[in-house]
């Protein structure tokens, strides 16, 4: 059983959760808002950032300039179907997203989405823990390690799990504060 691999997997789960948190809008324009959006381009779901240049000229505007002008309609459709809740404006060459100030109700909705993303991160960490502990128990059953070594490894995996879940909680609390601060 390799504890460092378990630790690395948990770190990746935390990073993925942090990446998901970055896609939640906070009232300020950010290109990361569009990271999860895929556009149905020539029958393939394609990440928006590979189809266009995305810029934020000011704190309340995101401009999307597609490399292929014929894909503007497809990009608009993908944005409308996403959970962003922002209507795209199209001038024929680029798409403009105006980021309005968040209402109290929208802030509450975003905190709910954030809470779900945090729970997904915690579940991912717990799944990694379960897999690692199953591996330790199998090694103990196959007499590759002693009962004491098995217990020590399981405790170590549990400590890593607690630490990882605590990091996700800190990320959640920081992002929640960012969203709820007017």
- How many of the other CB atoms lie within 10 Å of CB of 42? 9
Task: State residue 135's pLDDT score.
Answer: 93
> Final residue of a domain: which of 98, 120, 151?
98
Coil, helix or strand at residue 153: helix
Contact between 128 and 13 under an 8 Å Cβ cutoff? The reply is yes
Contact between 65 and 74 under an 8 Å Cβ cutoff? The reply is no
Is the pTM above the cut of 0.75? no
> Are 82 and 126 in the same domain?
no
Query: How far apart, in Å, are the Cα atoms of 3 and each of 38, 145, 150, 160?
Result: 36, 14, 12, 9
Range of the domain at 146: 3-21+103-180
The tally of domains found in the chain comes to 2
> Final residue of a domain: which of 98, 114, 149?
98
Rg (CA), the chain: 21
Task: State residue 182's pLDDT score.
Answer: 64
Task: State residue 66's pLDDT score.
Answer: 93
> Are 114 and 71 in the same domain?
no
> Are 49 and 16 in the same domain?
no
CATH number at residue 60: 3.30.1360.40
Distance CA 40, CA 71 (A): 9
| Tens digit of pLDDT at every position of the chain (182 positions) | 678 899 999 999 999 999 888 878 676 777 888 888 899 988 889 998 899 999 988 878 899 999 988 889 999 989 888 877 788 888 888 999 888 877 888 888 889 989 999 999 999 999 999 999 999 999 989 988 899 999 999 999 999 999 999 999 999 999 999 888 76
Task: State residue 133's pLDDT score.
Answer: 94
> Are 85 and 107 in the same domain?
no
């Amino acid at each position: 059983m390799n504890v460092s691999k378990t630790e690395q997997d948990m770190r990746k789960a935390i990073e993925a959760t942090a990446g998901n948190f970055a896609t939640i809008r906070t009232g300020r324009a950010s290109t990361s808002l569009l990271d999860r959006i895929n556009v149905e381009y020539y029958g393939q779901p394609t990440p928006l950032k590979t189809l266009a240049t995305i810029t934020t000229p000011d704190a309340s505007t995101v401009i999307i300039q597609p490399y292929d002008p014929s894909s503007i309609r497809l990009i608009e459709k993908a944005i409308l179907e996403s959970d962003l809740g922002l209507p795209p404006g199209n001038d024929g060459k680029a798409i403009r997203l105006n980021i309005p100030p968040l209402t109290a109700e929208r802030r509450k909705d975003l905190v709910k989405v954030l809470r779900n993303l945090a729970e997904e991160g915690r579940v991912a960490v717990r799944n990694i823990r379960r897999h690692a502990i199953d591996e330790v128990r199998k090694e103990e059953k196959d007499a590759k390690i002693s009962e004491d070594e098995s217990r020590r490894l399981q405790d170590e995996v549990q400590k890593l799990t607690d630490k990882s879940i605590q990091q996700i909680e800190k990320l959640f609390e920081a992002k929640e504060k960012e969203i709820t601060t007017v």
